[in-house]
Amino acid sequence: MLCLNRPSFHEDMIKIIDRLPTRNEYRRVRHLVLRHSEDQPEAPLITDDELATVFGECPHLETVVLSAVPTTTDRTIVLLAANAINLQGIDLTGCQQVTDVGVFELAAKSLPLQWIQLNGVVGLTDPSITALAKTCSRLVELELCDLPLLSVLSVRDIFTFSRKLRTLRLARCPLLNDKAFPAPSRLSSSTAAYPSGYEKPLPPRPTSWLDELPPLILRHTADNLRILDLSFIGGLSDAAIEGIVGHAPKIQHLRLSGCKLLTDRALESICKLGSHLDVLILAHVANITDRGVVMLARACTNLRCVDVGFCRNLTDMSVFCLAELRGIRRLSLVRVHKLTDIAVFALAEHALDLERLNLSYCDRLTLDAVHLLVRRLMRLQNLSATGVPSFKRQGVHRFSDPAPTDYDADQQAAYHVFSGDRVSGLRKFLNKEEERRRECERRNIPFVARSDDGLDLY
């Protein structure tokens, strides 16, 4: 007799986290997640041999995360590709023993891969990445950060063939430059005609194969691309940003930290993203100025998260415009030394929905300005003010989160980060101090700052 209460095949499948499946679970496991966990720092290490045994017996795996098994080898990836015919996602972050051999096998098996993370797999080279771009037609997420051998050739193939990508991360790949990315549309037209009788000058002799590469002219647009991370690509210039924005006009999350060649011209190109842009990270892009940030804030009105830390040319004017963004929730202003209390007053007046704010090392700010800020911003969940001299005021440090244990004495003394209920505690403490100050003024007696929460004057 047919048992109607028996679970279906899909209901019987399981997800296993931070351990290997048992023999009885081999044919039931669909998701295997082996990720470093801070809650289990002393968890037993899993070996490559153990993984190989499991992958040879698990035919129904769909997603595999192996970032906690850095000893993973090509042998294990080959077994996985051969047996898991429904594999849709794989994370090999930090698996430095994996090479092109394993990645070639993933590409060769025509697996239905939709997301691949290869961050820090330092031995990978262009041929394997190109193979993924050309054969994995369903890819929507590709992460290739910290690959020292990745060059412009494979990245050009990604933009050419991986047309369904929603997420692309290429941070800290030192060989990349403008040639890796789509060229601006103005270069797609033929060169301007020369007057009759004018002899066209010879181009300069190329110094390397890279100089011989023509601009990447694409006839399609990446309308699906939403998240792009190009952090710390030193050779990225304003022209590349212009080409990228023209090719992917609906980017929502753009990370350009450490791209030191970028200027206000890049921000002018980013303005074309308009209301699509939601997150913009510009930390360490030191050449941008108030002019570019003002243009950006006026064009991209849906910005929710902005990081302009270490952009030392910026002044209060930039914060005025960012504060008026109706959706701003997170703002980082680390080491923007020219900021004054006026910028903080603008945030307190307009950015009432701000949830996270980083003012670390903005050494001109006073505690009175920050008091107004925390009193007005009732949704503030995290305030960082490390290295701000005014926070050395007695009584303030006890509300700070604990400093990291590896900090020395001076770093711990300068550490001021307030989160959750500690923000409320700081707010109440400063409110009481304000009440005592006003009472002193009313009674015409000197005000003495104290570290306790009492309202009595003596």
> Which residues pair with residue 418 across a beta bridge?
383
In a domain, 38, yes or no: yes
Residue 378 CB neighbours (<10 A)? 11
**H helices of 56-125, where?**
74-83, 100-108
In a domain, 121, yes or no: yes
Lookup: tokens for 295:
């243009």
In a domain, 228, yes or no: no
**H helices of 324-420, where?**
341-350, 367-376, 409-414
Rounded distance, CA 423 to CA 418, Å? 5
Lookup: tokens for 317:
């004017």
In a domain, 123, yes or no: yes
Name, in order, each residue with C-beta under 8 angstroms of 271's C-beta and a sequence gap of 6 or more.
Answer: 295, 296, 299, 300
Max Cα-Cα span within the chain: 94
Given a contact cutoff of 8 angstroms between Cβ atoms, the answer to whether 150 and 126 are in contact is yes
In a domain, 47, yes or no: yes
Burial class (CB in 10 A: 0-12, 13-18, 19+), 6: exposed
In a domain, 227, yes or no: no
pLDDT one digit per residue (tens) for the chain, 458 residues? 444 454 544 557 889 999 999 999 889 999 999 987 555 555 568 899 999 999 999 999 999 999 999 999 999 999 999 999 999 999 999 999 999 999 999 999 989 999 999 999 999 999 999 999 999 999 999 999 999 999 999 999 999 999 999 999 999 999 999 999 999 876 655 444 444 444 556 666 666 767 788 899 999 999 999 999 999 999 999 999 999 999 999 999 999 999 999 999 999 999 999 999 999 999 999 999 999 999 999 999 999 999 999 999 999 999 999 999 999 999 999 999 999 999 999 999 999 999 999 999 999 999 999 999 999 999 999 999 999 999 998 889 999 999 999 999 999 999 999 999 999 999 999 998 888 888 888 888 887 787 877 777 76
In a domain, 450, yes or no: no
CATH (domain of 89): 3.80.10.10
CA neighbours within 13 Å on the CB side: how many for 434?
13
What is the residue range of 29's domain? 10-176
Global pTM reads 0.90
In a domain, 366, yes or no: no
Give the number of domains in the chain: 1
Strand (E) or helix (H) holding 105: helix 100-108
Given a contact cutoff of 8 angstroms between Cβ atoms, the answer to whether 288 and 312 are in contact is no
